[in-house]
Amino acid sequence: MMKVIIVDDEPKAIELIASYLKHFASFELVATFRNGLKALEFLNSHTIDVVFLDINMPHLSGLSLSKIIAPKTSIVFTTAYSEHALESYDVNTTDYLLKPISLERFSKTITKLIDSQEQQDNIPNTSTEVPPTLFVKSGLETHQIQIVDINYLQKDGNYMYYFVGDKKIMARQSIAEALETLPKNFIQIQKSYIVNFTKIDSVSTTQVVIGESQIPIGSQYKSIVLNQFK
């Protein structure tokens, strides 16, 4: 059974794909989202085989989301704008569906997904998945941290501070060392800060807001951060 989510800001588009999926017993629709950020938060704590993903969405575009979650999840882009087709293949895309989507065309996508899954099953898994927890050494203690609970990290001198819920954990660590242990939804937004993209409440040209924390965006990172929200 392949687990599926649908991400699209149009309710009718979600309903159509959901109705098509009912024709295929080997696919299970587990959730739908109208917001890319919510979908990313879900993907960080759930194993999903396939994402049907609209490209043009507010806050976080389908292309930006795909570059964060690929290649561990199969992606099928769904959009009314064919000019995005070539760009979509810059990521690990299984197929591209142009709206309005017919059941006949959708069936061909299902065949591709099944074929792709069978090929993956025949390949020995040598990749190392990011663990759901981190072990961070702080002085004489070692803390086990749930990755999904990390809001952001702040570098201060030789030390890194992990802001986890309402806790602050200090470790002797560089920015590069921290990024190496974190999944792709953690991005550096200036020389001293790494943020969990799924925890961002709002973003402007100068800062991101996570809870009550306002974190400035460095000039050299501005385009990287803002491109995620196109």
Q: What is the pLDDT along the chain (230 residues), one digit of tens a residue?
A: 899 999 999 999 999 999 999 999 899 999 999 988 889 888 888 889 999 999 988 878 888 888 888 567 899 999 887 755 655 556 668 898 999 999 999 999 999 998 888 776 655 554 445 446 888 888 888 888 888 899 999 999 999 999 998 899 999 999 999 988 888 888 999 999 999 988 988 888 899 999 999 999 998 888 878 777 66
Assigned token pair, 8: 């699209």
Contacts of 110 (CB under 8 A, 6+ apart): 24, 27
pLDDT at 85: 60
Question: Which overall architecture, per CATH, does domain 2-121 show?
Answer: 3-Layer(aba) Sandwich (3.40)
pTM of the predicted model as reported, rounded to 2 decimal places: 0.60
Q: Is 185 helix (H, G, I), strand (E, B) or coil?
A: coil
pLDDT at 130: 47
Is residue 217 within 8 Å of residue 209, measured between CB atoms? no
Is residue 91 within 8 Å of residue 63, measured between CB atoms? yes
pLDDT at 141: 84
Which CATH superfamily, name and number, covers 133-227?
LytTr DNA-binding domain (2.40.50.1020)
- DSSP lists the bridge partners of residue 54 as 78
pLDDT at 22: 93
Do 2-121 and 133-227 come out as alike in CATH topology?
A: no
pLDDT at 153: 97
List helix spans (H) across the chain: 11-21, 36-43, 62-69, 85-88, 103-121, 175-181, 222-227
Question: DSSP code of 191?
Answer: T
Cis amide linkage into residue 58, ω under 30° from 0? no
Map out the domains of the chain as residue ranges: 2-121, 133-227
